[in-house]
Structure 1
Amino acid sequence: MSEALEIARAALAGETAWLVGGAVRDRLIGRDTDDVDLAIPGDPKRAAKAIAKASGATAFQLSGAFGAWRVVAPGHAWHVDLVTLLDDDILADLAKRDFTINAMAEPLGGGALVDPHGGREDLARRVVRMVSERALEEDPLRSLRAVRIAVELELEIDGETGLAAARHAAGVARVAWERVFAELKRVVSAEAVRRGLTIMETYGLTEIVLPELTALRGIEQSRFHHADVYNHTLEVLDCVALLQRDPVAAGLDAGVAALLAQPLSDELTRGDALRWAALLHDAAKPATRGFHGGRVTFMGHDAAGAQLARDVLGRLKASTKLRDYVAAVTLHHLDAGFLVHERPLDRRTVWRYLRATQPYSADTTIFTVADRLATRGDNAEPAIEAHLEVARELLAAAREEDTAGPTSPLVRGDELIREAGVPAGRQLGTILAQLEEDRYAGAIATREEAIARAQELAR
């Protein structure tokens, strides 16, 4: 039994309450969950407060959720959502739910399963089936939710349910984007993400929630690519997933998996966020496609793509941190590839790369490996080996810098003004940056050398 369920049972002992939805489903399939849904007769506020008081958790009303309340444990270890039981009748309540596997209930205090729509049998058959098409009419987002549940739980979508999902896909455009993103990000983070994207496209959902992806179909590239932009994008996504799962197989070290497993934002790990970079890093190619010397080009697609990534994630109401992260990776996803032609890399070149890509130098470098592995046109194997060589060096440098943390400058700006005669202003900032590069390159190592170098630069 989950901690959340134990606490809710103790806090609401003797009261009428129903365990409903995904919590029941997950218990039946033996899937651990720290998210519990309860249906409560009347206003759930008092029950939410009781659970919070018993556990030291925080209770608050969910905005726009028809009076629903949430109780969140310290450290977000678990949460309990409480809603009003429809008409104080569990059968009426379950009849309004989305899919049969979510339309089951158990008395919170213990008792027989209530399963009027055959959800338990559908679980055994590994099927997602709608309770009624009215559920999808009333909330078109359920079309996307069917896909999310199918890919997360490795289920098939019932044929009639799939047809209904396709019929109501266009209605998702009327749904609040925060809700769309909540479902979509789980599809993108799923192990079976490629299957999820295929189902979404089959039902017409992708062109509603992520039209920038469908726009990549048929955009042909140069001879160094073996696929159009759409299929290349999906292969980059596959390679990011590989780097999350088994970076050694992709040519990097095992520590990459630990880095990509770190939480970033929006309930996504760094690796999950890189999946969004995979989907969006070439999204500006249709708008930037051109020809030069008889070759296909996409000049400026990195900068244009960074802005487009911000726009897409902004539309989805993602956090500023996630927007910044995906935009930064997109902006610099070509940089490491350019350095292949500058081998062996000197310290100054490495320093400039780190400064350009901070604070996500390691993540950006890892992403470039996924992008390179998914580019298998002419001369692919030698190009991949050369890129891996550069990427390993850049990744080691990024890790070294991250481990060392901020370092104190050899000399401060006010000291340069006072002792080296450097005027305040833009030149001072430029000189300080140059001193840091010189220090990294080993050209200076002491305060005295820094002042002398500053005087030389200020002349």
Structure 2
Amino acid sequence: MVKMAEALVRLQTLAELPTVATVAAAFREAGHELALVGGPVRDAMLGRGTNDLDFTTDARPDEILRIVTPISTAQWDIGREFGTIGARIDAETVEITTYRADEYDGTTRKPVVAFGDSLEGDLVRRDFTVNAMALRVPEVALVDPSGGVEDLVAGILRTPIEPEVSFGDDPLRMLRAARFAGQLGFSVHADVRTAMAERAATLDIVSAERIQGELTKLLSTDAPREGIRLLVDTGLAERFLPEIPALRLEIDEHHHHKDVYEHSLTVLDQAIGYEKQRHPGEAPDLVLRLAALLHDIGKPATKRTEAGGVTFYHHDIVGAKLAKKRLTTLRYDGDTIRDVARLVELHLRFFGYTEAAWSDSAVRRYVRDAGPLLERLHMLTRADVTTRNRRKADRLGFAYDDLEDRIAVLREQEQIDAVRPELDGNRIQEVLGVPPGRVIGEAYRFLLELRLDDGPLGEEEAERRLLAWWAERDERG
């Protein structure tokens, strides 16, 4: 709950920040208006940390650059076309944008950039009322033409103008509603939700890169679950991430399988919990969160009803392929795509551990296959346990504790994170007396399998076994 007396004190504190005071004084001296706008004002009132300083002004871009140059150590005008000048002032990065009065043609997402003359006119063209508040500086006056304060107190997301008009201007704002629902923990006004459902198809004109950016921001919030649910319920997810609504499989009358959609949201929640527990204060792990959300997307395609119930054989392999295809379409980078797909592929591997004790060889292979993703695989696998059966959950938890303990012991004894044969390619050539070629790769793989099966052998024993393998290979022809 926002307490207005405390919120006003925080706004005063925001206005008194050295960087804010420096910029405000420079613009006043130049005869121009200046106001902090959007996120910094909202977050200050909520008592949240303020990471960005965004200003708006009646000054045009050339004049903004002239004003900030003497008080800054660096300036950039990459956003000049849209009225934005960036600067580094007092070790802080700030962005200052000319009042905007854009118009949209209703066909594309791109506005016809038009500069405005009033702060109030600029504010009403913004996405949500809680982002359409400004703090005039240096006089410290709150400007709120759309009732953002009331919505902030109520924890509601509304648009400053009719939502269908706002979303018609820029359909990406519908995804921003989901992101802010997760980021702020706010509910979405019924009119906004209705407009999102009615205009879901218009998201198709937005580029994959912009959609990916909002999905990433949503998943990077502390509680993305409700934002994802909003995207699914309004039909927006169907436009860019259809694998998630597809998880809402029909549950048979005997409940032979769990609700995969709700299970996936719970796995995401729990993965974030493990991430925060293991790495407090660090940046959100997008790879882990994407893998948690997508880990079961292979189930709809592999669902089979058999005498004993419902099965999803090989959904891990199918899911990895689907994840790679979807993330590629969304223009994620190659490393993210590769790592998420690999985690999806490996997420079931552990569950064989509870059925029969693994040999040291199996543990080595688990570590080898996970590679640098091992810790993420630990967190994903633990998060994948959502059963309400306390005894079953404890059994799985204890089993994974045991696996991690065994990995730690083998890591200390054998350096299993970098398992490789005792002999490299050059030494294999010397021992076998053969030139470089395919046989060297075959020999290397043979020695690697020995290393995984039997642990460290020592160079002498490795050479002996290599020669025996070579002799047997020659006999086979």
Residue of 313, 320, 331 corresponding to 1:299: 313
Q: 1:34 — aligned with what? A: 51
Please list, as runs of the form range in 1=range in 2, the aligned pairs for 1:191-206 lying within 5 A after superposition.
191-206=222-237
Contact kept, 8 Å, 2:43 with 2:49, in 1: the verdict is yes
Residue 152, structure 1, aligned to residue 213, structure 2: no
Contact kept, 8 Å, 1:4 with 1:36, in 2: the verdict is no
User: Separation in 2 of the partners of 1:450 and 1:4?
Assistant: 70
Q: 2:153 — aligned with what? A: 124
CA shift in 2, pair 1:165/1:34, >3 Å = same
Residue of 223, 236, 242 corresponding to 2:267: 236
Whichever residue aligns with residue 113 of structure 1, its letter is L
The alpha-carbon deviation at position 331 of structure 1 amounts to 0.9
Whichever residue aligns with residue 35 of structure 1, its letter is D
Q: Deviations over 1:373-418 (max 9, x none)?
A: 1256899457625642454246636976998875886432112202
The alpha-carbon deviation at position 138 of structure 1 amounts to 0.6
Q: Deviations over 1:135-157 (max 9, x none)?
A: 22211222222232233222233
Q: 1:161 — aligned with what? A: 192
TM-score, structure 2 as length reference = 0.78
User: Separation in 1 of the partners of 2:467 and 2:44?
Assistant: 71
Residue of 206, 212, 219 corresponding to 1:181: 212
User: Separation in 2 of the partners of 1:318 and 1:376?
Assistant: 35
Residue 106, structure 1, aligned to residue 135, structure 2: yes
Equivalenced residues, count: 437
1:424 partner SS = coil
Residue of 37, 40, 51 corresponding to 1:23: 40
2:95 partner SS = strand
Q: 1:334 — aligned with what? A: 348
1:361 partner SS = helix
Please list, as runs of the form range in 1=range in 2, the aligned pairs for 1:202-351 lying within 5 A after superposition.
202-220=233-251, 226-246=257-277, 257-258=278-279, 263=283, 269-270=284-285, 272-291=286-305, 295-343=309-357, 345-351=358-364
Contact kept, 8 Å, 1:18 with 1:39, in 2: the verdict is yes
Q: Deviations over 1:427-446 (max 9, x none)?
A: 32343344355456665443
The alpha-carbon deviation at position 40 of structure 1 amounts to 3.8
CA shift in 2, pair 1:41/1:388, >3 Å = same
Residue 363, structure 1, aligned to residue 363, structure 2: no
The alpha-carbon deviation at position 281 of structure 1 amounts to 1.3
Whichever residue aligns with residue 219 of structure 2, its letter is V
User: Separation in 1 of the partners of 2:97 and 2:266?
Assistant: 42
CA shift in 2, pair 1:191/1:429, >3 Å = same
1:132 partner SS = coil
Contact kept, 8 Å, 1:4 with 1:78, in 2: the verdict is no
CA shift in 2, pair 1:112/1:239, >3 Å = closer
Whichever residue aligns with residue 466 of structure 2, its letter is A
Contact kept, 8 Å, 1:422 with 1:454, in 2: the verdict is no
Instruction: Give the share of equivalent positions with the same residue, in percent.
Output: 33
Residue of 412, 424, 427 corresponding to 2:424: 412
Contact kept, 8 Å, 2:298 with 2:322, in 1: the verdict is yes
Contact kept, 8 Å, 1:41 with 1:88, in 2: the verdict is yes
User: Separation in 1 of the partners of 2:205 and 2:327?
Assistant: 17
User: Separation in 1 of the partners of 2:455 and 2:192?
Assistant: 68
Contact kept, 8 Å, 1:336 with 1:387, in 2: the verdict is no
Structure 1 stretch 48-57 or stretch 233-242: which is displaced more? 48-57
TM-score, structure 1 as length reference = 0.81
Q: 1:66 — aligned with what? A: 82
Residue 44, structure 1, aligned to residue 57, structure 2: no
Structure 1 stretch 65-74 or stretch 306-315: which is displaced more? 65-74
* Uncovered stretches (5+) of structure 1, i.e. residues with no partner: 247-256, 264-268
CA shift in 2, pair 1:384/1:405, >3 Å = closer
Structure 1 stretch 426-435 or stretch 172-181: which is displaced more? 426-435
User: Separation in 1 of the partners of 2:255 and 2:387?
Assistant: 7
The alpha-carbon deviation at position 227 of structure 1 amounts to 0.9
Q: Deviations over 1:32-57 (max 9, x none)?
A: 12112222445536746976885655
Q: Deviations over 1:271-301 (max 9, x none)?
A: x432221221111221222356655332332
Contact kept, 8 Å, 2:420 with 2:448, in 1: the verdict is no
The alpha-carbon deviation at position 228 of structure 1 amounts to 2.9
User: Separation in 2 of the partners of 1:124 and 1:178?
Assistant: 33
User: Separation in 2 of the partners of 1:185 and 1:4?
Assistant: 33
1:61 partner SS = coil
Contact kept, 8 Å, 2:361 with 2:455, in 1: the verdict is no
Whichever residue aligns with residue 319 of structure 2, its letter is G
Contact kept, 8 Å, 2:130 with 2:149, in 1: the verdict is yes
CA shift in 2, pair 1:155/1:386, >3 Å = closer
Q: Which has the larger radius of gyration?
A: 2
